[in-house]
Each structure stands twice: as structure tokens, then as C-alpha cells.
């Protein structure tokens, strides 16, 4: 885990001014390393370490390519009437993130598909038919409640993008045009029709969810097999976002190094924001 974090910091410093190729490389790196190391950690007893790593790495690279493609597509949204582009982007992104999670868990490519709607994670399994398991993400739920306090819920934008979007008076959001809290977005009232800004914030929503594969490194499958009854009850209702520790550590430590608004994850979001720039 420390090696992956160091690689991301090195990549961030070397890619201060991002090109499309560098962003594609980052998404491939995220998928490849998460899938490779996760698969090696969760390998079956008969598998060799290098075989498990390479199997997870190529699957993760497929997932990383989809992550990049979804962000390219979200940048094309210019109105609520183009909701089909936003939802297509979301489906492609969550498919890519699901592939990375499967790779990191040493599972088949499409063993499980996860689709996030706000703070609800919908898990679909395709073994012996189709099963659906909705899980609440406690951190995202708490951040959505926080985002809702004193703000107006924008039904149209939320339905168009598939994530909770709230509107705040300009004077109550003086230091930012918009802000993302987990899976919830808060926008200045005067900029609620600035779709480049909304696309920027949606990339941040994507960024948090695409780190979920790291849960299979933090909490390997073999540990999950030895769970107790209380753990079973909790995981039947909730999906604990351990990966958020890694995501926010990378975000804020990189910001300390490179300056506010110039860290790698912000730069990636700006790259997919069309006319909205720093």
C-alpha cells in the first residue's frame, strides 16, 4: 500500500501540467496496480504470486481504460437534456471500477458489477442467476446529509447526473464555485447552470468511487472469510468505504506539496471541465 501511494505522488509531481496521455496513464496505473497487487494478495493457494499479479493487472488495465473513457464522456454534457450522456458516463465508469474491484479480489472480470446512486451502492452478482444487494455507504450518507443542511436540493440536476446536487447562496460559498462531499455536490446558485463546473465536480465523485478496489488490499478476501456474526450483519447493510482514507490522504497530502487547487486529482477534474478552468 505504501509503494502504491509513493508511486501516485511521484506521478503527480511529474505530471503537474496534464495531457490526455498522462491522464490515461494515471487511470491505467490505478487499475493495473490495484488489480495486480490485490489479486496477488487474494490469490488462491495453488496460484503463483506473479501469475496472480499479471492476471489482476491486465484486468485492472481494462477497468482503468473505462474510467478514462467515462470522464471523456462526462465532459460532453452541456445541459440537463443530455442526461443520457451523463448516465452513460456513469455506467461506463462504474463498470470500469467494478472490473478493477473484481481484479483486486482475484475474481472473474464481470463476477460482480457495482452501481452507485448517491450513498447507495448496488451490487449485482451473476452467479446462478442475477442477485441484487443494495448497501448504504455510511461516509457518503453522512456527507450527503451535511451537504443538504441549509441548501436546496436540485431535483432536475440530480436526476440528470445520478448523484445528489444541492444549491447554496453565493455569499454562503465565498471561496469556491462548487464543492464535492463524497458523492454529493454543492454549487453556487449563480453557477447552477454551468455544466463545465458540474462536470468538474462529477469527476471528483468518480475519483472517490474508483478507489474502492483498494478495499481488497486493505481488507483481503481471506480475512473476510473469517468474519463473525456481527460483521455479517453490518456488511449486509453497509459498505464501509475504507478506500476513502487512501483517496483523501492522496488528495490533501498532494495539495500540501503542490498548492491548493493544483494537486493531481484537481488537475484531472479541470482537464475534463471543458471551458471551466482555474
Assign 31 to helix, strand or coil.
helix
* Percent of the chain's residues with pLDDT above 90: 70
Residue 276 lies in a domain: no
Q: How far apart are CA 31 and CA 263, in angstroms?
A: 20
Mean pLDDT of 10-25: 66
Residue 111 lies in a domain: yes
Q: How far apart are CA 135 and CA 97, in angstroms?
A: 17
Q: How far apart are CA 88 and CA 154, in angstroms?
A: 20
- Average pLDDT across the chain, whole number: 88
Mean pLDDT of 174-202: 93
Mean pLDDT of 58-71: 97
Residue 278 lies in a domain: no
Among 10-14, 128-132, 175-179, the least confident range: 10-14
Asked whether the beta carbons of 63 and 98 are under 8 A apart, the reply is yes
Asked whether the beta carbons of 117 and 165 are under 8 A apart, the reply is no
pLDDT at 241 over 60: yes
pLDDT for position 117: 96
Residue 110 lies in a domain: yes
Q: pLDDT confidence of 255, banded at 50, 70, 90?
A: confident
Domain boundaries, position 251 = 2-271
With CA atoms as reference, report the closest residue to 157 among 120, 201, 125.
201
pLDDT at 126 over 60: yes
Q: How many residues does the chain have?
A: 278
Residues 132-167: tens digit of each pLDDT: 999 999 999 999 999 999 999 999 999 999 999 999
Asked whether the beta carbons of 164 and 198 are under 8 A apart, the reply is no
Q: Give me the torsion for CA of 211, 126, 56, 238, rounded to 10°.
A: 30
Q: pLDDT confidence of 20, banded at 50, 70, 90?
A: confident
Mean pLDDT of 47-57: 95
Residue 277 lies in a domain: no
Please state, as a whole number, how many other Cβ atoms lie within 10 Å of the Cβ of residue 269: 21
Assign 108 to helix, strand or coil.
coil
Assign 133 to helix, strand or coil.
strand
pLDDT at 13 over 50: no
pLDDT for position 115: 97
Residue 161 lies in a domain: yes
Hey, which residues does 238 pair with through a beta bridge?
Answer: 136
Residues 197-239: tens digit of each pLDDT: 999 999 999 999 999 999 988 877 656 555 667 777 778 899 9
Residue 169 lies in a domain: yes
Residue 153 lies in a domain: yes
Output b/e per residue, 100-135; b: 16+ Cβ within 10 A: bbbbbbbbeeebbbbbbebbebebeeeeeeeeeeeb
Please state the domain count of the chain.
1
pLDDT at 10 over 50: no
Amino acid at each position: 500500500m505504501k509503494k502504491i501511494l509513493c508511486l501516485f505522488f511521484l506521478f503527480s509531481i511529474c505530471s503537474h501540467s496534464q495531457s490526455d496521455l498522462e491522464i490515461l496513464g494515471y487511470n491505467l496505473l490505478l487499475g493495473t496496480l490495484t488489480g495486480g497487487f490485490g489479486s496477488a494478495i487474494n490469490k488462491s493457494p495453488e496460484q503463483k504470486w506473479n501469475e496472480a499479479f499479471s492476471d489482476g493487472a491486465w484486468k485492472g488495465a481494462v477497468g482503468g481504460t473505462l474510467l478514462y473513457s467515462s470522464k471523456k464522456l462526462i465532459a460532453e454534457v452541456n445541459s440537463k437534456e443530455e442526461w443520457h450522456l451523463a448516465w452513460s458516463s456513469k455506467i461506463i465508469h462504474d463498470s470500469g471500477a467494478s472490473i478493477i474491484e473484481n481484479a483486486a479480489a482475484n475474481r472473474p472480470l464481470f463476477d460482480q458489477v457495482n452501481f452507485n446512486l448517491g450513498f447507495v451502492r448496488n451490487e449485482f452478482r451473476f452467479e446462478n442467476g442475477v442477485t441484487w444487494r443494495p448497501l448504504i455507504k455510511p461516509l457518503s450518507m453522512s456527507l450527503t446529509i451535511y451537504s443538504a443542511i441549509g441548501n436546496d436540493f436540485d431535483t432536475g440536476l440530480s436526476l440528470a447526473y445520478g448523484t445528489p446536487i444541492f444549491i447554496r447562496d453565493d455569499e454562503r460559498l465565498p471561496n469556491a464555485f462548487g464543492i464535492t462531499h463524497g458523492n454529493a455536490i454543492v454549487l453556487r446558485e449563480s453557477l447552477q447552470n454551468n455544466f463545465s463546473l458540474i462536470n468538474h465536480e462529477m469527476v471528483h465523485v468518480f475519483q472517490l468511487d474508483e478507489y474502492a478496489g483498494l478495499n481488497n488490499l486493505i481488507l483481503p478476501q481471506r480475512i473476510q472469510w473469517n468474519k463473525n456474526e456481527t460483521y455479517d450483519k453490518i456488511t449486509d447493510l453497509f459498505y464501509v468505504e475504507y478506500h476513502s482514507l487512501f483517496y483523501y490522504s492522496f488528495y490533501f497530502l498532494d495539495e500540501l506539496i503542490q498548492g491548493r487547487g493544483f494537486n493531481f486529482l484537481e488537475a484531472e477534474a479541470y482537464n475534463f471541465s471543458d471551458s471551466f478552468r482555474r
